[in-house]
Chains A and B, each alone.
Chain A
Amino acid sequence: MNSAPITAWEGAKAYFTFADRPGVLMFFCAVAIVACAASIASMMRHETSCSKKLG
């Protein structure tokens, strides 16, 4: 996978992976946000399950 937005360092500015492909960056952001939300959902399940164990 070629993720580099540059082919030479001379004159390079934004050089992070996929800097020239905003659609890919938006996709990564969306997945990361879903990962955070899913982690909170998992936290809620853990709390509920622990609470049930205690009666």
Chain B
Amino acid sequence: MDNAALLAKIEALEAAVALTKTINAEVFYWWCTALMVAIHAGFLAYEMGASRAKNALASGLKNLLAFAFLVPTFYFFGWWIYLAFPTGFTVSDAAAAGLPWSESMGPNLGDNASGIFWAAFTLFAATTASIMSGAVIERIRMSAFTILAILLGGFVWILGASWGWHPNGWLTSQWGLHDVGAAGCVHTIAGFFTLGVLINLGPRIGRFTSDGKVVHIAGHNMPMSLIGLMLIVMGFFGFLGGCIIYNGGTWMTIYNTPATLSAFAFNTLMGVAGGMIGAYVVTRDPFWMMSGALIGVISSAPGLDVYHPALAFLISFVGGLAIPKIADFILERLKIDDAVGAVAVHGFGGVWGLVAAGIFAAGYPNVEGPAVSFLGQFMSMLVFVVLGFVPGYLASYALKALGVLRVAPAAEIAGLDIAEVPVKAYPEATIPAYGTSVMSPAE
């Protein structure tokens, strides 16, 4: 074989390897996105189970609506926001690629990346909206929830992601923020947005006695909730896989620092276990144990790439011990009816995760900006808290002022299924609480 033929073979081989890398990367994010759908199956089951039988389908419908509306919203606005605002509020030149009429935002043989990254981010967006949806069940108007979900998933969280979960985000380039698993932009923002909404929404009828005592409102299907929570944990493997940048050859964090998927595997599992055990110790409650699994993932998320697995376990264990107590405080002292503990699990879980990375991951260098520090993590956490809370509070305040935030008391008492849903959850069930005849619990 002469030199020219050899060179041609080498060039062909190099082209084949490059194509394989590109396709591997596409395939990787495709399946991460598919796995993330399990998060939504999980939220669906979890929230329907946590609702009383008379509201089961309405709660599920709310989840389906959030998912369905978030996809187009994130296509029209969300991806552009992510590309536009890494430096704050000035629009970056890169934003043009995120406009829905740009060449990158549709089938393009020269762009194997935009669609697959957009899809993964869209599922992150839908996750933020789902975080809010459990807290507000059984009394929010479907339309108000949809508007708030679009605001949170299509605008607010992605602005936070542009600031703090982007290779050039100003929280990293100026303060050294390290949050590889998106505890801040997804969980903290969604948790505090939810808190703002709950303040205006108010508790479910009958949640508190006239002298302020808490009345326990049990969901109608705890096993369904537990399975749902386990599905969310499974989906988080897609979520966290989608948080790591794979270019077909190497793995990097969103901040362009080197990483391995193995690191994420060690610490995700150890975090899940730590959170579950911690929550079990303080509650003995399987619902909180599975919420503890989420707390564990969120607590370790910012440092999944660098923590020793035992440290990830301990950080998540502490989260599992503390967060159920914070949920009690929010309910009993602040009199805020968060039906599933979302503010505590996601909001304060994210706060703890970000601060813990400041304590235990300080000193790691960044590619852009200063090294990881406690102060940088703490200040970034405050930014996420404010960025979540203020829009959630203001938007729900406006909806309340217009009289469209909450269902009418008659509908809430009768049950939202009978009020608004044309099908029955359990058409042949006999529920003693509703009498002895065969009937829908919604009747």
Contacts and interface: CB of A to CB of B under 8 A. Distances in A.
Interface of A: 12-16, 19, 22, 25-26, 29, 32-33, 36, 40, 43-44, 46-47, 50-51, 54-55
A32 B404 contact: no
A51 B403 CA distance: 13
Contact of B108 (A13, A44, A46): A13
B108 A14 contact: yes
A51 B408 contact: yes
Interface residues of B, number: 28
B420 A47 contact: yes
A48 to B, nearest CB: 9
Contacts of A13: 103, 108-111
Nearest to B410: A54
Contacts of A43: 65, 142-143, 146
Interface in B94-115: 100-101, 103-104, 106-111
B76 interface: yes
Given A15-B107, A15-B108, A54 B101 contact: no
Contacts, number: 66
Interface in B66-121: 69, 72-73, 76, 100-101, 103-104, 106-111
Contacts of B423: none
A40 B81 CA distance: 23
Nearest to B107: A16
B439 interface: no
A54 B419 contact: yes
Given A40-B146, A50-B420, 6 more contacts: A13-B110, A14-B103, A14-B108, A14-B110, A16-B107, A54-B408
A51 B143 contact: no
B414 A54 contact: yes
Contacts of A50: 411, 419-420
Nearest to A42: B143
B143 A36 contact: no
B141 A47 contact: yes
Contact of A47 (B101, B109, B147, B407): B407
A32 B101 contact: no
Contact of A29 (B101, B143, B414, B420): B101
